[in-house]
Amino acid sequence: MNEFLETEEKIVQMLRTVFDPEIPVNIYDLGLIYRVDLQPEGKLMVDMTLTAPSCPAADFLVEDARQKLASIEGINEVTVNLVFEPEWSKDMMSEEAKLELGML
């Protein structure tokens, strides 16, 4: 596997360690990550959303994701953008997340 793909895999693994304090499922499997753009120079841009625009954990989730992603070797700069289009829905959740939350 080339270095770029290995780094992308580490990004997904790291995003799966970020949890909303009120939901026992990580932000990746919840479907909150809309875009991951890794530039060759190690600049990472992530677009994420929230389950609700007024989520009280918004600042915590964004900063937790940013810090964890910045710890990955080869990533020099991380920007996490909070976006609300398209609006998040339960349909965006992975099968694992739905199972964990008793929705299947």
pTM value is 0.92
Cβ burial 47-79 (10 Å sphere, 16+ → b, else e): bbbbbeeebeebeebbebbbebbeebeebeebe
Kindly report the backbone phi and psi dihedral angles of residue 70, in degrees, each rounded to the nearest multiple of 5, phi listed first.
Answer: -65, -20
**pLDDT single digits (tens) 37-71:** 999 899 999 999 999 989 899 999 999 999 999 99
Paired with 35 in beta bridges are 47
First vs last Cα of the chain: how many Å apart? 34
Structural domains of the chain in order of their starting residue, each with its CATH number? 3-83 (3.30.300.130)
CA gap 16, 31 in Å, rounded: 11
- The pLDDT tens digits of the residues spanning 66-94 come to 999 999 999 999 999 999 999 999 999 99
